[in-house]
Amino acid sequence: MLIENKSYLYAYAITRDLGFAPNPFHGMCTLATCKPRIRKAANVGDWILGIGGYNLKSVRKKCILLMKVTEKISFNDYWEDNRFALKKPARNGSHMQMLGDNIYHQDDNNNWIQEDSHHSNADGTFNVTNLERDTHTDQVLISRQFYYFGDKAVDVNLDSIGYHRIRDYIKFSLDNSIPAKDLIKKIDAKFRSEKNLVISDPCQFSDFYKRVDQGTGELY
On whether the CB atoms of residues 146 and 29 are closer than 8 A, the answer is yes
Tell me, what's the pLDDT at 159?
94
Task: Tell me how far apart the alpha carbons of residues 86 and 102 are, in angstroms, rounded to a whole number.
Answer: 9
Phi and psi torsions of 117, nearest 5° = -160, -175
Tell me, what's the pLDDT at 188?
98
Task: Tell me how far apart the alpha carbons of residues 109 and 107 are, in angstroms, rounded to a whole number.
Answer: 5
Mean pLDDT of 162-187: 93
On whether the CB atoms of residues 105 and 79 are closer than 8 A, the answer is yes
Task: Tell me how far apart the alpha carbons of residues 109 and 124 are, in angstroms, rounded to a whole number.
Answer: 21
Strand 47-52 versus strand 8-14 pairing type: parallel
pLDDT tens-digit map of 30-55:
999 999 999 999 999 999 999 999 99
pLDDT tens-digit map of 82-93:
999 999 999 999
Which residues are paired to 113 by β-bridges? 105
pTM score: 0.96
Q: Which three-class secondary structure state does DSSP give residue 84? A: helix
Burial label, 120 (beta-carbon count in 10 A; 0-12, 13-18, 19+): buried
pLDDT tens-digit map of 103-126:
999 999 999 999 999 999 999 999
**Does 164 have pLDDT greater than 90?**
no
**Does 168 have pLDDT greater than 90?**
no
**Does 166 have pLDDT greater than 90?**
no
**Does 143 have pLDDT greater than 90?**
yes
Phi and psi torsions of 135, nearest 5° = -85, 0
**Does 167 have pLDDT greater than 80?**
no
Q: What residue spans define the domains of the chain?
A: 8-73+138-219
Tell me, what's the pLDDT at 32?
98
Tell me, what's the pLDDT at 10?
98
